[in-house]
Amino acid sequence: MMTFFREGGVIMYPLLVVTLVVIVLSIRAWLRLRGDDLSEATLGAGIDAIVFWGGYAVVLGVLGTLVGVSMAARAISAAEQISTSVVWSGIRVALSTTIYGLLVFAVSLLVWFALRVRHRRLAAGAV
């Protein structure tokens, strides 16, 4: 896992921060659902923030891919001889951020959906 993280380059650090934000928001929303405060204004916004940050992870992932492809293209143009292993290793590194960003987004969507359903059921009075 650490190799995968290192391969993603500098964009993986903001992606890690976004992942932590999604985790913290998810835990906070879950704990609030267990309490008495089910107001739509605060709890609903907190639940929706989970999906926002998950989407932001995808944006960062795509940005990381573009940066990685740009760096690979620069290295390829600087090299006198092009090898397919160099090209594919550059592409693999570039795609690491998108894979991670999509994974964070997929998890955040699942958490958002589960919390949203639970919130609606509790607000309607059905547990």
Please state, for a pLDDT cut of 70, what percent of the chain lies above it. 92
Confidence (pLDDT) at 82? 76
In which domain, by residue range, is 71 found? Answer: 11-124
Task: Specify the pTM.
Answer: 0.82
- Does 3 fall in a domain? no
pLDDT, tens only, 111-124: 999 999 988 888 78
Confidence (pLDDT) at 75? 76
- The whole-angstrom separation of Cα 77 and Cα 69 is 12
Closest CA to 88 of 7, 3, 1, 14: 7
pLDDT-derived band at 7 (thresholds 50, 70, 90) equals confident
pLDDT-derived band at 88 (thresholds 50, 70, 90) equals confident
Confidence (pLDDT) at 38? 64
- Does 5 fall in a domain? no
- Does 4 fall in a domain? no
Number of domains in the chain: 1
- Does 6 fall in a domain? no
- The whole-angstrom separation of Cα 9 and Cα 26 is 27
